[in-house]
Amino acid sequence: MRYLLVGNYGVGNAGDESLREYFLRRYPAVEWQVLSAFPTHSELPRFPAGPTSFLSFRWLRTVHALIRSDGMVFGGGSLFTDAESPHACFVWFMHIFFASVCRRPILLAFQGIGPFTNPFALFAARFAVRRASYISVRDTASAERILPWRKNAEVVQTFDPSIVLLQNKCEYIRAKRVFVLIPRPSSQWTKTVFDNVVKEFHALIAEGAELKIVSMHPQDPRERKLTELLSRTLRAPLHESLVMDEVIRQIAGATCVITERYHGIIAAALCCGIPFVALRLREGDKLDALARMCGCPSETLPTFGNAILRDTDWDALRAGLVSLCEQNVKLVEQGESSLKQALERFARG
């Protein structure tokens, strides 16, 4: 079997790289050809989504590989949403377009889909869902969004697959009031918000708590600038983590993780049993949905405050997270079995 593997790979994000590792490790019968934003010698470039990438003509290699493949697999993540960037949906729409032109099956595996505010992003997601030969989603919110688009068609409910690579890697050792902040650059980081966040954490540190900052995408210049500024201003140690194993090492023993990154929640709550505060971009986005599932607080940066860290019963939240991890691992295993059957079916067809 030979499939193209599509995702937000190659940009240096620890969460996305863990998804690529999952597919390469858990499906040994498949000859994966990975499409990357910055391809190595063993990878292929993405399909063009702008004049520069089009005129490079490097994507012709990818067309050739697609024609010789059994199909295209979109491997994990929330690719079809405009919560972070409307342009992202256009990038993935172009991959759906090329697969459709070449008449190759499209498999959306372990996907988070939505929410949407941009009309084109919504159109691109609908087109992808309706064109797909197989779909599994990683959360109930995504399933509810797309079920009306695929009436009488199966949508497999599963979970983020990176959890099966990370489970049992975290030994929880209770530390004295250690809080971990996992930020990311976003439009919410205005000067007013930055000053307020710094003020709230200064108050927390003055009460005897410890704070450290973890960057999960240190190769992004915007994130490096933000995390280094937070580290200097708060006099808190900064840890740059290129892989999820390192993220887990940095958060082990924390009282709480305050995160703007989805895979920061996966590492904290569902692998280490550590409660978290999800710093969502908007209501109903992937962080908000996961926080509701885990029973943990969900805030935006402008509404975040020290009071939630001081007043929440973190021990009570921790008690329910261990069993939740086991439930989600079973969901992933079911989704994995379903995807393997689909891959074999389309390869034979």
pLDDT digit string, tens, across residues 243-291 = 999 999 999 889 999 999 999 999 888 888 899 999 999 888 999 989 9
- pLDDT of 27 reads 98
- pLDDT of 320 reads 78
Cα 56 from Cα 2, distance rounded (Å): 25
Mean residue pLDDT across the chain: 92
H or E element, residue 34: strand 31-36
- pLDDT of 166 reads 85
Asked if 335 contacts 161 with a C-beta cutoff of 8 angstroms, the reply is yes
Comparing CA positions, the residue from 176, 326, 175, 171 lying closest to residue 249 is 171
- Which structure tokens are listed for 53? 């990438």
Max CA separation in the chain (angstroms): 65
What residue ranges do the domains of the chain occupy? 2-157, 178-325
Cα 305 from Cα 36, distance rounded (Å): 38
- What are the beta bridge partners of residue 180? 212, 257
- Please name the residue that has the structure tokens 């021990």: 315
Calculate the CA 308 to chain-centre distance: 25
Fold observed for domain 178-325: Rossmann fold (3.40.50)
Asked if 48 contacts 54 with a C-beta cutoff of 8 angstroms, the reply is yes
Indicate the burial class of 101 (C-beta count within 10 angstroms; 0-12, 13-18, 19 or more): exposed
Asked if 279 contacts 291 with a C-beta cutoff of 8 angstroms, the reply is no
pTM for the model: 0.91
What class does CATH assign to 2-157?
Answer: alpha beta
- pLDDT of 315 reads 83
Q: Supply φ then ψ for residue 18, to 5 degrees.
A: -70, -30
pLDDT tens string 101-156: 999 999 999 999 999 999 999 999 999 999 999 999 999 899 999 989 987 678 99
Residue 218: is its pLDDT beyond 90? yes
- pLDDT of 168 reads 74
Comparing CA positions, the residue from 285, 282, 284 lying closest to residue 300 is 282
Q: How many CB atoms lie within 10 A of CB 59?
A: 20
Query: Lowest-confidence range among 161-175, 207-221, 247-261, 287-301?
Result: 161-175
Q: What is the DSSP string of 162-208?
A: THHHHTT-------SSEEEEE----TT--HHHHHHHHHHHHHHHHTT
Q: In this prediction, what percent of the chain has a pLDDT beyond 70?
A: 98
- pLDDT of 174 reads 60
Give every strand in the sheet of 71-80, ordered side by side.
Answer: 44-45, 31-36, 2-6, 71-80, 106-113, 134-137, 156-157
- Give the burial string for 186-225 (b: 16+ CB within 10 Å, else e): bebbeeebbebbeebbeebbeeebbbbbbbbbbebeebbe
- pLDDT of 173 reads 61
Cα 99 from Cα 289, distance rounded (Å): 30
**Do 2-157 and 178-325 come out as alike in CATH topology?**
yes
Per-residue confidence band for 323, with pLDDT thresholds at 50, 70 and 90: confident
